[in-house]
């Protein structure tokens, strides 16, 4: 990859694409909005293994129902965050580094932790200074 192309990708989405992992099994979709920033080592995973049949090894149980992932516009997803199937992250939201997102995130919300939870409104942070 040429340095010009690498710099162009960096300016659009953040770190090189190789540091972002996106997994979607057949039937699952991952939608990424405009002006989204990804920190390094982010994982977006739209599928899951089954483990509900104790007579089968998990390895042979197949996949659970898939669920798409939607990331809105102007979203920042911090280093090492994991976004799991079925999650919608609305516009102007922030996901903290290392967070594991299992629930929908509202517009302008800041979520952190494992499992991730809402800690504040992004817009209230901007207006309070």
**With pLDDT > 90 as the criterion, what percentage of the chain qualifies?**
55
- pLDDT attached to residue 14: 54
pLDDT over 90 (residue 36): yes
- Per the structure block, which two tokens stand in for 122? 């992004």
Q: Which residues are known catalytic residues?
A: 49
Q: Worst-scoring range by mean pLDDT, 7-16, 63-72, 97-106?
A: 7-16
What is the domain range of residue 72? Answer: 3-127
Contacts for 102-106 with beta carbons within 8 Å, 24 or more apart?
none
What CATH number corresponds to the domain at position 26? 2.160.10.10
Give 65-79 pLDDT, tens digit per residue.
778 999 999 999 999
* C-beta of residue 36 within 8 angstroms of C-beta of residue 71: yes
Rounded to the nearest integer, the mean pLDDT of the chain is 84
How many separate domains does the chain show? Answer: 1
């Amino acid at each position: 990859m040429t340095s010009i192309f690498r710099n162009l990708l960096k300016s659009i989405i953040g770190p090189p694409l190789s540091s972002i992992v996106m997994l979607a099994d057949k039937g699952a979709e991952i939608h990424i909005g405009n002006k989204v920033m990804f920190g390094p080592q982010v994982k977006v995973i739209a599928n899951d293994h089954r483990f509900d049949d104790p007579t089968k090894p998990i390895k042979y149980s197949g996949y659970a129902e898939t669920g798409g992932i939607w990331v809105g516009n102007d979203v920042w997803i911090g280093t090492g965050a994991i976004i799991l199937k079925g999650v919608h992250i609305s516009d102007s939201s922030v996901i903290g580094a290392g967070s594991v997102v299992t629930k929908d995130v509202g517009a302008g919300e800041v979520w952190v932790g494992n499992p991730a939870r809402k800690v504040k409104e992004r817009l209230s942070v901007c207006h309070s200074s």
